[in-house]
Amino acid sequence: MKPETYINKLENFVDQQVTLKGWLYNKRSSGKIKFLIIRDGSGYCQCVVFKGNVSDEIFELADKLTQESSFEITGKVKKEPRSVGGYELDATDLKVISLSQEYPITPKEHGIEFLIDNRHLWIRSKRQVAILKIRHRIIKAIRDFFDNKDFTLFDPPIITPNACEGTSTLFEMDYFDLGKAYLTQSGQLYAEAGALALGKIYTFGPTFRAEKSKTRRHLTEFWMVEPEAAFYDLDDNMELAEEFLEYIVQSVLKDRMQELIELERDVTKLENIKRPFPRISYDEAVEVLKKKGVEFRWGDDFGAADETMIAEDYDRPVMVHRYPSEVKAFYMKRDPENPKVALAVDVLAPEGYGEIIGGSQREDNLDLLLERIKEHNLPQNFFEWYLDLRRFGSVPHSGFGLGLERTVSWICGLEHLREAIPFPRMIYRNTP
RNA sequence: UCCGCGGUAGCUCAAUGGCAGAGCAUGCGGCUGUUAACCGCAGGGUUGUAGGUUCGAGUCCUACCCGCGGAGCCA
């Protein structure tokens, strides 16, 4: 039943007869010759149906195929530079599996609303297939990177009893007799427990934000990878982050060049992504903004436009460290040399893609952490288990979170995060 | 939540307050190398919803609905 081969393996079958199974991507005809473009998920192949080579029935059947009809086609493989993918199938037989009804996504332009309404079909188009393949390669690179460094995959809960950081708006649900529960906004606190158990761990899963963000950089459901390592300080954390990003980008360049070209991505911009990355302090970043004429008050967090201006001076991601502690989460450790700033780091991607990583060294002192919890008006009883991590063998430790879709978006050169995930969830859309 | 823009054929879009149109898609016909193929013919409309102004509204006014772009917040 399964296909004997796939389009991306045709180079091994030149001058041999094969049967491909797939869907009709497009069709052109010119009298006694028809060109069927078949896609099978692995690639695209032009099949030539010539009246002299097939029976009249087969020739007419080729005419009946509508866009996205499923079919199998048999013929001899030829090398053909004029054809998509470089190979062509000289058809001798054709079987229709299922004729498609009138397919809504035509080979012309469409508006974004229509495409998102038809996301379940839109993902069949070339551009979306390329993005999803790159997404998969990025995910594989993430897992390989940490696995090769002896980080253990550690899955935090998705249902949580309270806000991890106490700031964001969360999706709320009724949890039996225990009252309200929430969808996780970060696996961070649980990751710390994991690091103190296993040394080096990473979490990788979906995360949820109920904020009414309505921009190209936001989804309500997105994927995040969060490494956490015991005995790592902020510098170790930054080293890990830059090696990590370099590995991801270089892996995609090595294995998904064809897809990047399909997306018309300027790959020279990606080839620059090599260590070391520039590191500047928040203070230095503020100076840069002021020099560029931005009115910026020390103590504020950077907006999207500020991030772009800071990043535009560099051809690779820039690591901005030591943010004012007041704009950062309660669990971030303050710099012993300057308690007004936290040992935090944000990594800003080039080309205006903004923050793709946020991380920090964590507060490992029980008393200071208790103070932070009070300052942030967080319910201490929910954090008792987290405080235990400081009561029972506390150690310096650090970690960061990388937003998968923002990374996919940056590497693919996308305009909007919604193309970086199969079925985007946004404030005004939860379908299909 | 706030600011800005939009909603007309299956899709992308036109239409000075005066006959609701084109391209693509679909159907039929033509073409032996097409690359979003091309050429000819045909079918296809509650102009987002409700109300108002007017001899006459896709067009002007009011309200609502839906979406898009951005801000804040963040990955």
CA to C1' distance (Å), from A315 to B2: 35
Q: Which CATH class is domain A7-98?
A: mainly beta
Amino acid identity of A428? Y
Q: Closest nucleotide (CA of A226 to C1')?
A: B75
| pLDDT > 60? residue A165 | no
The tally of CA atoms less than 13 A away on the side-chain side of residue A381 is: 1
Query: How sure is the predictor about A166, in pLDDT bands with cuts at 50, 70 and 90?
Result: low
- More confident of the two residues A211 and A122: A122
Residues A260, A127: Cα–Cα separation, whole Å = 10
CATH topology of domain A119-420: BirA Bifunctional Protein; domain 2 (3.30.930)
pLDDT tens sequence across A19-40: 999 999 988 888 888 999 999 9
As a whole number of Å, the CA-based R_g of chain A is 26
User: What are the tokens at A360?
Assistant: 């920090």
Among candidate residues A243, A213, A198, the one with its CA nearest the CA of residue A357: A243
Amino acid identity of A25? Y
Amino acid identity of A430? N
| pLDDT > 60? residue A93 | yes
pLDDT of res. A213 = 81
Give CA angle at A44 (A40, A12), nearest 5°: 85
CA to C1' distance (Å), from A274 to B24: 45
Q: Where are the domains of chain A?
A: 7-98, 119-420
Give the DSSP per-residue string, A258-327: HHHHHTT--HHHHHT--SPPPEEEHHHHHHHHHHTT----TTPPP-HHHHHHHHTT-SS-EEEEEEEGGG
A355 touches strand B (CB under 7 A): yes
By percentage, how much of chain A surpasses pLDDT 90? 64
Residues A86, A387: Cα–Cα separation, whole Å = 61
Highest-pLDDT range among A210-214, A295-299, A344-348: A344-348
A424 touches strand B (CB under 7 A): no
A197 touches strand B (CB under 7 A): no
pLDDT tens sequence across A245-303: 999 999 999 999 999 998 889 999 999 999 999 999 999 999 999 988 888 889 888 98
| pLDDT > 70? residue A168 | no
- Whether A5 and A20 have beta carbons less than 8 Å apart is answered as yes
CA to C1' distance (Å), from A57 to B33: 22
A109 touches strand B (CB under 7 A): yes
Mean pLDDT across A309-324? 94
CA to C1' distance (Å), from A134 to B46: 45
Nucleotides of chain B touched by protein CB (<7 A): 1-2, 10-13, 23-27, 30-38, 66-75
Compute CA A343 distance to the chain's CA centroid, rounded to the nearest angstrom: 26
Q: Closest nucleotide (CA of A329 to C1')?
A: B74
A81 touches strand B (CB under 7 A): no
A430 touches strand B (CB under 7 A): no
Residues A147, A263: Cα–Cα separation, whole Å = 30
CA to C1' distance (Å), from A29 to B7: 37
CA to C1' distance (Å), from A90 to B9: 39
Peptide bond into A317 cis (omega under 30): no
Which residues, at least 6 apart from A397, have a Cβ–Cβ distance to it below 8 Å? Answer: A192, A195, A196, A228, A229, A230, A231, A232, A361, A362, A364
pLDDT of res. A163 = 58
pTM above 0.80, yes or no: yes
Report the mean per-residue pLDDT for chain A.
Answer: 91
A297 touches strand B (CB under 7 A): no
Strands A279-281 and A318-324 come out as parallel
User: What are the tokens at A116?
Assistant: 């998102």
| Alpha helix ranges (H) inside A162-233 | 188-198
Instruction: Find the residue closest to B25 using CA and C1' atoms.
Output: A106
pLDDT of res. A249 = 97
Cβ neighbour number for residue A422 with a 10 Å cutoff: 13
CA to C1' distance (Å), from A193 to B28: 70
pLDDT of res. A204 = 96
Among candidate residues A28, A39, A119, the one with its CA nearest the CA of residue A423: A119
A393 touches strand B (CB under 7 A): no
Q: Closest nucleotide (CA of A33 to C1')?
A: B32
